[in-house]
Amino acid sequence: MYSVRSDILRKKITAVLTALVMLTGCTANAPVSSENASSSSGFSSESASSSSDFSSENASSSSGFSSEVSADGSSYGETQSVTGENDNVNNLDSDEMKVHFIDVGQGDSIFIELPNTKTMLIDAAENEYADRITNYIYSCGYNTLDYVVATHPHSDHIGGMADVIGAFNVENVILSPATHTTKTYTNMLKAIDDSGAKVKIGVAGTEIFSDGDLSAVVIAPVTEDYSDLNNSSVMVMLTYGSRKFLFTGDAENSEENTITADIDCDVLKVGHHGSSTSTSSAFLTAASPEYAVISCGMGNSYGHPHIETLDRLKGAGVKIYRTDLQGDIIMTCDGERITVNAEPSAADGASSGESKSETTKATTTTKVTTTTVTEKPVEENPVSYSYVLNTNTMKIHRAGCSSVSRMSEENKGYTNDYDGAIAQGYVPCKRCKP
């Protein structure tokens, strides 16, 4: 049953893409007009028009794709039901939005607490981080994901999707038009199918939601060439009040150059983990962000973020934040002001300090409360403990790991219970591999 249902969903997506190619310019609400598709200027000041809304049109996308009806004619809504009810509980002020760039190593996962009590998840990193993402969201007080965006089929963005979707009530899913044949991708499709979530194909102009001064719209991919997975990334512009957040997946220069929407933003999630093939000078000039967030793994084999990208950001006067140096980056926005839980990183790659704000410390403290983890030993040498915990980054290290010497003392915890720490949501350091 699994393989059949997943194959059906995958075939549906493929069929939609074929139909899009054949029908471009023939549908009044086509998300990519011939004008947009042929545009090479790259960055116009005109925003992408909204085309549909989950809340009002039952997940029928502008492309004509309706995930509501299955291939056998039955309704997913009739055959699949979301488990439980939305009883999300959070501590947000009524006018606050929080954007969490979760530290998931060499991958992406962004959890967003919307001011209307709804939630959004963009990507879910490699599968090894699924529990970390799930526990992180639970710790924020949520059991429902209202909008889930899978930017593209690479495993460092969707590897944990199947497990995360299976752990929550999921209402709506936005998929890249690019498909894949990997087990990771088919597992995600099965989880989506089982969840009963409504599905949209994310192409330029697709509206994810609109609620007063709060909205999210897909601004890319624009073209219909989905052969390059990175450049088929679903790019989302999230607007709250006067502030804008641009999420880029792994989009590289070739996708950046196709965008026709206004990309002016306050916060830029830097494309492709800070690769030199992304965030071109032209793109950065058009976006003109105040803040940039790079999600990457410490000491990753790709050398991300590349110095060229850091130099461009530095030259533009952008404040840079990095998950490999600072752990979870949390931005709070009230529609006018944006505050961050950490100080910016130095653009040359050096950390400006691993210490976090009191907000982050409070958050992580609630997550790591356990009898197996102690505070800093008063009369014992820390080396007597087998493992050292970074309560900011939620990583567990061997006591002798070189990373331990760079940790702020106030962020250290000590334990001999490796399994207990893992159960609390800690992930092993990739350097010392405890």
- Spatial contact of 344 and 249, defined as CB atoms under 8 Å apart: no
Calculate mean pLDDT across residues 200-209: 97
Higher pLDDT, residue 7 or 295: 295
What's the length of the chain? 434
**Per mean pLDDT, which range of 18-22, 65-69, 159-163, 305-309 is the poorest?**
65-69
Predicted local distance difference test score (pLDDT) of residue 356: 34
Cα separation, 103 vs 325, whole angstroms: 9
Instruction: Specify whether the CB–CB gap between 231 and 205 falls below 8 A.
Output: no
**Lowest mean pLDDT segment, chosen from 60-69, 290-299, 401-410:** 60-69
pLDDT for 244:
98
For 237-252, how does the pLDDT look when each residue is reduced to its tens digit (9 = 90+)? 999 999 999 999 999 9
pLDDT of residue 21: 36
Average pLDDT, the chain: 78
Which pLDDT belongs to residue 9? 54
Show the 3-state SS of the chain.
CHHHHHHHHHHHHHHHHHHHHHHCCCCCCCCCCHHHHHCCCCCCCCCCCCCCCHHHHCCECCCCCECCECCCCCEHHHHCCCCCCCCCCCCCCCCCEEEEECCCCCCCCEEEECCCCCEEEECCCCHHHHHHHHHHHHHCCCCEEEEEEECCCCHHHHCCHHHHHHHCEEEEEEECCCCCCCHHHHHHHHHHHHHCCEEEECCCCCEEEEECCEEEEEEECCCCCCCCCHHHCCEEEEEECCEEEEECCCCCHHHHCCCCCCCCCCEEECHHHHCCCCCCHHHHHHHCCCEEEECCCCCCCCCCCCHHHHHHHHHCCCEEEEHHHHCCEEEEECCCCEEECCCCECCCCCCCCCCCCHHHHHHHHHHHCCCCCECCCCCCCHHHCCEEEECCCCEEEECCCCCHHHCCHHHEEEECCHHHHHHCCCEECCCCCC
What is the predicted pLDDT for the residue at 416?
Answer: 82
Q: 2-60+78-353 belongs to which homologous superfamily?
A: Ribonuclease Z/Hydroxyacylglutathione hydrolase-like (3.60.15.10)
Most confident stretch, 31-40, 70-79, 178-187: 178-187
What is the C-alpha to C-alpha distance for residues 356 and 373, in angstroms, rounded to an integer? Answer: 20
* Better-predicted residue by pLDDT, 238 or 369: 238
384/375 Cα distance (integer angstroms): 14
Q: What is the pLDDT of residue 384?
A: 55
pTM, rounded to two decimals: 0.66
Residue 136, pLDDT above cutoff 60: yes
pLDDT above 90 as % of the chain? 57
Instruction: Give pLDDT, residue 20.
Output: 39
pLDDT digits (tens, 9 = 90+) for 270-307: 999 999 999 999 999 999 999 999 999 999 999 999 99
Angle (CA) 239-242-244 rounded to 5° is 35
Convert 153-191 to b/e letters by CB count within 10 Å (16 or more is b): bbbbbbbbbbbbbbbbbbbbbbbbbbbbeeebbbbbbbb
User: What pLDDT shows up at residue 89?
Assistant: 62
d(C-alpha 144, C-alpha 137), whole Å:
9
Is residue 1 over pLDDT 90?
Answer: no
Tell me: the pLDDT tens digits for 141-150? 999 999 999 9
Order of strands across the sheet that contains 207-211 = 207-211, 214-220, 235-240, 243-247, 267-269, 291-294, 319-322
**In the chain, ranges of CATH 3.60.15.10 domains:** 2-60+78-353
Q: Write down the pLDDT at residue 407.
A: 74
